[in-house]
Amino acid sequence: MSRITAAITAIGGYVPEYVLTNEELSTMVDTNDEWIKSRTGISERRILKGEGKALSDICVEAVKQLLSKRGIGPEDIDLLIVGTVTSDYNFPSTSNVVCDKLGAKNAWGYDLSAACSGFIYALATGAQFIETGRYKKVVVVGADMMSSILDYTDRTTCVIFGDGGGAVLLEPDTEGYGVKDFILRADGSGRKYLCQPAGGSLKPASHETVDNKQHYVYQEGKAVFKFAVTNMADVSAEIMEKNKLTADDVTWLVPHQANLRIIDATAERMGLDKAKVMINIQKFGNTTAGTIPLLLWEWESKLRKGDNLILSAFGGGFTWGALYLKWAYNSN
């Protein structure tokens, strides 16, 4: 019998309606459009507004779209994994909330915390449940509501991130499509450069942590940039070598959208032409675990059965990795 692989058979995405432009940000903090564009490539990002809105609302919209495209119902889902660092609650998991809101009564699930690598980590993890033959329909979500943990008086972080995310459906395939390989890495010593300092068991919420703004994203941008640019490029080149892929064999690079300069360095290291690189950072900024599924969602109509995709990310943790995926369908 042929080996079972986990193929992506449908995709959904969601970005909130509200557009926060560089111009509007420059009325909030000491920044300007020229600085943000030249240092990051971002022009605008989306923000989820509204009383009672949370990460699960982004996930639900993305998954609903995916189910409708595939023509199946929420009760068909076996497992739903959410890669995120901005869960609705510390517990229960956002996966539980999403399954409840969707009516996915036969599913179980969990959240996976790997910051900007959250989607790749979750995709690799979800694929295992398909490859073993245990499940037939696994939904993998990558989404974040970064506006909920950003300090909009800190120009070094608030200009970078946005809200949004996407979801993919994994189903068994025996013709070799889907997740082919991945290389995942972690180095927890990087936590000092990029983290949310309080709100966990190390520093539970207190008046002091709130006064010290420790519930917001803390990032030493320059240090993170150095690690990101080297490691994302290295791991992307490594997965090509491991699978004997030349630049010609790679149809698309699907890179985490943290900074245009990191994306360019990764493509260059892989020997890829810029035309093969998916980029939407200018519109959505860095949506953390949301960036890669949002790219796949936007590019879906251009993707062809058999296309070789390299997904690649670097993020807080530190976490990083690359995943080789053979696209399984033509959408039109």
CB atoms within 10 A of CB 207: 7
| Residue number with CB closer to ligand UT7 (160 or 233) | 160
For the CA atoms of 137, 297, 56, 218, the dihedral, rounded to the nearest 10 degrees, stands at 120
| Phi, psi angles (nearest 5°) of residue 250 | -85, 120
**Dihedral sign, CA of 89, 107, 145, 257?**
positive
For the CB of residue 158, give the shortest distance to ligand UT7 in the complex, in Å: 8
CB neighbour burial string for 145-161, b if at least 16 within 10 angstroms, e if fewer: bbbbbbeeeebebbbbb
Which listed residue (22, 96, 99, 116) is catalytic? 116
Determine how many CB atoms are found less than 10 A away from the CB of residue 132. Answer: 10
Task: Look up 256 and say whether it is catalytic.
Answer: yes
| Least distance between ligand UT7 and beta carbon 202 (Å) | 21
The number of beta carbons lying within 10 Å of the beta carbon of residue 298 is 18
The catalytic residue among 195, 256, 259, 280 is: 256
Residue with Cβ nearer ligand UT7 (39 or 215): 39
Q: What does the alpha-carbon distance between residue 147 and residue 160 come to, in Å, rounded to a whole number?
A: 10
Nearer to ligand UT7, 130 or 160 (CB): 160
Is 116 catalytic? The answer is yes
Report the candidate in 86, 112, 90, 59 with the shortest Cα–Cα distance to residue 294.
59
CA gap 213, 50 in Å, rounded: 23
Q: How far is the CB of 228 from ligand UT7 (least distance, A)?
A: 4
- 29 vs 245 by CB, closer to ligand UT7: 29
First CA to last CA distance, the chain: 30
Place of tokens 């193929």: 7
Judge whether 104 and 77 are in contact, CB under 8 Å.
yes
For residues 89 and 93, give the distance between their C-alpha atoms in angstroms, rounded to a whole number: 7
Toward ligand UT7, which CB reaches closer, 160 or 292? 160
Shortest Å distance, C-beta 41 to ligand UT7: 9
CB of 69 to ligand UT7, least distance (A): 28
Least CB distance to ligand UT7 at residue 192 (A): 14
Let me know how long the chain is. Answer: 332
* For ligand UT7, the closer CB: 20 or 159: 159
Nearer to ligand UT7, 62 or 258 (CB): 258
CA distance 24 to 29: 9
Euclidean distance between CA atoms 164 and 194, whole angstroms:
20
Binding site for ligand UT7 (CB under 6 A): 31, 35-36, 39-40, 116, 155-156, 159-160, 221-222, 224-225, 228, 258-259, 262, 286, 314-316
Residue nearest to ligand UT7 (CB): 221
* Active-site residue, from 96, 259, 280, 286: 286
Verify whether residue 99 is a known catalytic residue. no
Q: Minimum Å distance from CB 161 to ligand UT7?
A: 8
Q: Which residues are catalytic?
A: 116, 256, 286
